[in-house]
Amino acid sequence: MNFKLLATSIFLLFLCHASWAGYHMIAEVADVKCLSQSSLNNDLITRVGIKVEGATHEEMKQLSQFIQSLIELTNEQQAIHLLSGLKVVFKDILGDTSVGSCLPAHQLVRNQIHIGRFCKSSKGKKLVIPYREGILIHEMGHFVANKHGFYGQYKASVKRKCKLSPYMSKMSNGKKHRNRNEEFAEVFASYFLYGKKLRRKCRKSYAFFKERLFLDNNSNCL
């Protein structure tokens, strides 16, 4: 596996549960009411070319509702174009976690999104990872960017950085991201979950997604 590609697709968000206060990611302020409230459609997931492993009924439903939202925003053909070839793997705990921190998701395997449900506290207790619905959509943004080479295009055409969420520019520990890949994934999530603010505060980012990803359709979350 090409290391450069791997590095750009990793999503490492370490949530410090002890001191986690205030909002950091779009997932935390997400308006999930903006998403389709359709019932689980297994057929739809298959039709757009997504494979799933280890999902509960609720997780399948959330995935299905995101796909339905994308289809409502664009059309089924575009959903297939953007998402086909993806595998989503749901697990209780993702790998080893350091004390008091947590890895909610990663894309260390090409074309796969791995999503965790819990992290372990220092006492070995399982803690439920919050905002997983929004995190899944953020991860979808990384997948779409990797699949279609959007990171480079975004950086070249949107000169002004979008700073809608703190996570767009830095990790929860304050360390700055080395590239704008997290910004891209956050803008992607915002288009579905926080569209009104995105359009107002990051006009160029909004326009890029509208034209290049969503067939010139406005966010359904305005």
Binding site for Zn ion (CB under 5 A): 11, 182, 185
List the structure tokens of 62: 């959330």
CB of 13 to Zn ion, least distance (A): 7
**CB-based contact 54:141 (threshold 8 Å):** no
Q: How far apart are the first and last CA of the chain?
A: 40
Whose Cβ is closer to Zn ion: residue 27's or residue 79's?
27
CB of 148 to Zn ion, least distance (A): 16
Render 67-85 in DSSP notation, one character per residue: HHHHHHHS-HHHHHHHHTT
Whose Cβ is closer to Zn ion: residue 25's or residue 50's?
25
Q: How do 112-116 and 105-106 pair as beta strands?
A: antiparallel
Cα distances from 149 to residues 32, 82, 168, 194, 213, in angstroms, run 27, 11, 19, 24, 12
CB of 209 to Zn ion, least distance (A): 16
Closest among 11, 51, 49 to 138, alpha carbons compared: 11
Residue 132 main-chain phi, psi, to 5 deg: -70, -25
Cα distances from 121 to residues 15, 25, 133, 165, 173, in angstroms, run 11, 21, 22, 26, 18
Whose Cβ is closer to Zn ion: residue 27's or residue 185's?
185
Whose Cβ is closer to Zn ion: residue 71's or residue 193's?
193
Whose Cβ is closer to Zn ion: residue 59's or residue 182's?
182
